[in-house]
Chains A and B, each alone.
Chain A
Amino acid sequence: MNDISPSTLLALVPLLPLVGAILTVALGRVLGSRAHLPAIAGIAAAFVVAVMLLSGMAREVGVGSTGHDHAAKPVEMVTTLWQWAGIGDAAAPGDGNSAAKAFAIPVALRLDPLTATLLVIITGVGLLVAIYSIGYMHGDPGYPRFFALVSAFVFSMSMLVAASNFLLVYVFWEAVGACSYLLIGFWFTKPEAAKAAKKAFLVNRIGDFGLAVATFLLWMTYGTLNFHDTTLADGTLVPGILGATRLADASAYVGGAVGTAICLLFLLAACGKSAQLPLHVWLPDAMEGPTPASSLIHAATMVTAGIYLVARTAPLFEACPGALTLVSIVGATTALVAALIGTVQNDLKRVLAYSTISQLGYMFAALGTGTLLGFTAAIFHLVTHAFFKALLFMGAGSVMHAMGGVIDMRRFGGLRRVMPITAATFLVGALALAGVAPFAGFFSKDEILASLHSRGWPDAHGEHHDAAPAGGHAATGATFHLASVTPDAAQFAGGARGSALDALNTPATWRILFWMSLVTAALTAFYTFRAVFMTFTGPTRVPDEAGHHAHESPPSMTIPLAILAALSAVSGWWLFSTHSLASFLASTPSFTAPAVASTATPPAFHWDLAIQGTLAAAIGIVVAALGHLGRRSDGPQMERFLGPLETLFANRFFFDQIYSALIVKPLEMVATLAAMIDRHLIDGLVDTIARIPVALGSVVRHLQSGLVQRYALAGVIGTLLIVLALVARAMG
């Protein structure tokens, strides 16, 4: 490692899967059933490199060193691979005092604690999913295509989290979307799959639109799109949006209408990619894709891109407390609604899909608190969720594999006797998801609840206020200590007009959000164990599609399950007890902005919250056990107690129907009208215009007689005309 510079290593992480993808495409036919080799080799190598980078970064940050340093130093390394395109002196609008600014798009990669963590997760889970797919996708006609797409996805996702420029982020935001689209529609001959892919693509476009407009606004406001500081050829420093210069000066972030607009557009983008209300409708349908793809893209990594975006732009959000509060509101609401829908689903993968939406909602709720605890808790939950949700999806895939493609829980049961390894690992994942101590989800969920609690009951977390004297912030003039500022004060802070959203930022709001999250925790435990009990307990039943050979899956599938189960069991306790992840992440430049760093609290285990969370989980599990433990899964369901609510949940709050009536149908009518105009009016016009060059060509063509004398004659006549015209002009 001494011979290779960190910047080379950083470039290798995305490069190796890219090479793997290209090789898979090029050699796919030759390799046949061994087409997974290049992809797995590429991702595995990338994983090794990512781990090296993480350990190097951890050494630099000094994780594990004694004492909790409240003023974590920003640690980052930026490497510019090349200048992609540049426009010398494009005028920067909205910036009157300097006439022109170079518009340059460097292909710059960055490494900081946040990126290093995510790179390990992406390549690590990607590797396990790829290995699992050897067994799962075996014999599929699109076998090479699948591995090429997975490899391309790992490349795009690594670039997304490593990019140090908003335009690059946008490019790879689209690239992961494209990979997701292609994988959802992997079995494109199936109409549902094609439809689901289209839906995912279109819904995501709404979010992408938000990101594009946000990028424009960033350029207009800050005059650069780089995260990091750059130095021009003439020595002037261009402070990057998230660079050290701007981070040190809290007044450097624009609040008010423009700032809020940028943040809300980011939120819109995050809602699209991370399937939050009201753009969550695509994710359940995305389960039409192959299960390993669902596991990697639609559970562990791609859907967390929204979390990454908000966490990365934390300093921008801190300048707009209203937008930040809205993040939490959206998150907690999504968490609750998705959990409610999840309680009545009978399709195992859809239960998990709604659970993913719900858990992502948790992460957003934590992000919205705007405290260091909230940000690190969200990333912590992202990490543990990646483990246990990938595990659950792969477990569901294993069930589906054995059941001959059937995934409706009512049609099988008692599978713990048929596939013991899958059952055991699934149970570990379920315990982690339900938040039962000491499994991973318990700790990360506890952190999220704590971050919400600290906003709702600031006094209960008194030490955290003393640690950050408000006076220090008055001096900076533009930031505010979120937890200690009333809405009125927030409107004055920053010297900018606060937005109407700031009125939401009251302790009462946060208390409601906290209770919503607690209820969600109970619901989570309920639907998770309902699925466990329906699938694995009760009399053993196997659908006809499975034939007579319903069996445990091959080792290539069960070994990744076992690894993820181990991680789901211990990672939470390990990361929490050593406080390593949180202190490591605190050195991420975005989290060292004064507005974030000042909210740092000493690590604490909140017994009261832990008890509340455990109680909630216990209630959920007990209710699920009462209804489903040991019963036939096709028997009478608990839903009948819900009455009319069951209709509401089972129809997913009628989101699809509402969208169809309000948006899709009117748009279809407009589209039909436009198509009619296009076909009859525009096409006619265009066809007429298009005929002009063709007609002209037929005239010119006849001059091509093929006779060399005529060519020479025409040339000479042309020459004469030119010379005569010139002479005539020169004379007169």
Chain B
Amino acid sequence: MNATSLETFSLLAPEIVMVLAALVAYLGGAFAGLRFGWLVAAAGIVAAMVVTRGQASDAAFSAGIAIDPFSTYIRWTVLALGLLLCLVQSGDLFAAAVSRGPGLHRGGTCEEAGTFLLLLAGLSLVGVAGDLVLLFAGLELVSIPTYILLGLKRTDARGQEASLKYFFLSLVASAIFLYALVCLYGIGGSTDLGAIAARLKAEATGRTAQALLPLAIGLGVVGAAFRLAAVPMHFYAPDVYEGTSPGNAALLSTLPKVAGIVVLARLLVLVGPAASPDLLWRIVVVLAAVTMTVGNVMALWQTNLRRLLACSSIAHAGYLLVGIAAAAAPSLSPRLLSTGGLSATLFYLATYAIATIGVFGAIAYLGHRWPEWTSGSGPRPPREEITTVDDLDGLSGTNPVAAFAIAVFLLSLAGIPPLPGFWGKLALAFSALEVDGAAAIEVGSRRSWFVGLAVLLVLNAAIAAAYYLRIIAAMYFKTTKRGVQADGGLAAGVAMLACLVLVGMVTVRPRGLLTAASRAGESLVPPAAAALPDALDTIATR
């Protein structure tokens, strides 16, 4: 705590920039037009990017703030996703405005943009938090704007139901997570993560630590599970996604997951060196296995597009947990191909988020469709929002660009080579297979758990392909008399294209992102082989 407050300010400059931009958006909303809020939001994010770029990414601990390659990676992820989501969200708004007549949403839009900026600032804060209080404050700064956004976007009964459900369940999760923080404080006697880790290492066998550690791990994992939409806190996802707008669904399926991964990564580092690390990896393996399976089998039954994607986002939470589990089981054998569990998860997180935002961006862009109507049967009924998979029938004929983009995103999510999702799943599977990679597979051994997990991951990818391909088949092999309207605003279309470009870039050159992810991951969980003799120290793609 020796840093002056000025230094702390400079470390938090990107977050401060975003909060200032949020204030501008709120205040300016009283005077300015429809587009003003989102322009400010985009400008604020870009300004935050500039500021982040100017900062050194070396490990700098100051007053509970950790600036290291990991938090820098998270920051960049948040800012990049924020920019994309900003485009999707504004397109979302235009869809609502168009369908309800002009002028209705004039005031709301700037409030949405400001709230969205606060959310991003909170998430970024979660990334850099090196202190329990700051971490929790950041998480709440993510949650509360989310409630508001959910409530603002749709004012009909379904929308209100969705935002209330999310609100209640989020409160439960926050309360549970707070208990975990309390336990950690009880162990460490400090709110500083570094201090807690040091204490844990020193008296790992102490009675307090022994009693509180399982509680802290269990409650902490559950708290993170809510953000990730993982079992057992996954129930809300389908209902909430279905009841909200595509833009909000895009937000919910990506940003909270970033927070969840950060919480798990910090927890992992904290208890990793402690005496009983077995606790963490075992529970994460179980949750990963159950989550991906539950998500995928549920998705098989869905006909509603957003419900389906919600279930798929549950499944992807399961995939993300695979890397966390692998990182929690520090391997003694050298790595073969991948860059470690945490790095694999960080890489997968980025590829998943890009493809998901792309899909929702495309849905937001498509907006509405014409209802079934023949000219003889009275006046044309009003347009309907795209809700079910069938609504995309024949999209390749009516809007080939959007159909192609959606197909690419879905194939990436399904993990078809050589798209980014494939590289991500490959990295995850390898990270699981590397755990005790040299040991024989015996029933009950650590390696058997992870080999089983890797097998389950591949099986789940196969199950998932079934429902992704169903959407692609609807777009390309079915015909429809009703065209889509594509009234969701150009911004969402631009977001879709931007995601397509990003997917293309990672496809042809996965190295750049992989290197960044591996540097970020290794800054928290150093490669195990570093501790081994040089002979084994071959490692890692650079």
Contacts and interface: CB of A to CB of B under 8 A. Distances in A.
Interface in B452-471: 463, 466
Nearest to B290: A718
Given A89-B538, A696-B293, A704-B238, A730 B222 contact: no
Interface string B219-262: 10110001000011101101100000000000000000000000
Interface in B193-222: 210, 213-215, 217-219, 221-222
Given A704-B238, A715-B169, A698 B542 contact: no
B218 A708 contact: no
B169 A711 contact: yes
Interface in B523-542: 538-542
A708 B293 contact: no
Contact of B235 (A85, A704, A730): A704
B501 interface: no
B338 to A, nearest CB: 10
Residue from the set A693, A701, A716 with the largest chain B CB neighbour count within 10 Å: A693
A701 B541 contact: no
Contacts of A696: 293, 297
B46 interface: no
B298 A723 contact: no
A172 to B, nearest CB: 15
A712 B283 contact: no
B258 to A, nearest CB: 21
A667 B358 CA distance: 45
B298 to A, nearest CB: 5
Contacts of B463: 693
Interface stretch (B90-98, B137-145, B361-369, B505-513): B505-513
Contacts of A722: 218, 221-222, 232, 283, 287
B164 interface: yes
A719 B222 contact: yes
B126 interface: no
A87 B511 contact: no
A696 B217 CA distance: 29
B344 to A, nearest CB: 15
A607 interface: no
A399 B301 CA distance: 60
B236 A711 contact: yes
A715 B233 CA distance: 5
A87 B217 contact: no
Nearest to B176: A719
B540 A711 contact: no
Contacts of A712: 168-169, 172
B538 A719 contact: no
Nearest to A697: B297
B168 A730 contact: no
B296 A723 contact: no
A549 interface: no
Contacts of B226: 715
Contact of B298 (A700, A714, A726): A700
A11 B55 CA distance: 36
A610 B210 CA distance: 97
Q: Summarize A's interface: helix, strand, loop or mixed.
A: helix
Contact of B337 (A88, A690, A700, A725): A88
B210 A730 contact: yes
A190 interface: no
A719 B219 CA distance: 7
A86 B226 CA distance: 37
A725 B233 CA distance: 17
Contacts of A82: 508-509
B296 A715 contact: no
B247 to A, nearest CB: 23
B276 interface: yes
B214 A693 contact: no
Contacts of B402: none
B532 to A, nearest CB: 15
A700 B237 CA distance: 14
Interface in A58-103: 82-89, 100
A467 interface: no
A708 B232 contact: no
A701 B298 contact: yes
A712 B234 CA distance: 10
A644 interface: no
B278 interface: yes
A730 B213 contact: yes
Contacts of B221: 722
Nearest to A717: B232
B165 interface: yes
B239 A718 contact: no
Nearest to A711: B235
B35 interface: no
Contact of A700 (B219, B287, B294): B294
A83 to B, nearest CB: 6
Given A704-B239, A725-B283, A694 B215 contact: no
Interface in B376-405: none
Given A697-B297, A715-B169, A84 B219 contact: no
A718 B222 contact: yes
A673 B172 CA distance: 60
A548 interface: no
B509 A694 contact: no
A704 B237 CA distance: 10
B182 interface: no
A723 B219 contact: yes
10 contacts: A82-B509, A86-B541, A703-B235, A712-B169, A712-B172, A715-B172, A717-B232, A718-B222, A722-B283, A730-B276
Interface of A: 82-89, 100, 233, 690, 693-694, 696-698, 700-701, 703-704, 706, 708, 710-712, 714-719, 721-723, 725-727, 729-730
- Interface pairs A-B: 4 shortest CB-CB: A718-B232, A697-B297, A723-B218, A726-B214
Interface of B: 164-165, 168-169, 172-173, 176, 210, 213-215, 217-219, 221-222, 226, 231-233, 235-236, 238-239, 276, 278-279, 282-283, 287, 293-294, 296-301, 337, 418, 463, 466, 508-511, 538-542
Given A697-B301, A715-B173, 12 more contacts: A88-B542, A233-B542, A693-B293, A701-B298, A704-B238, A708-B165, A710-B235, A719-B222, A725-B218, A725-B283, A729-B214, A730-B213
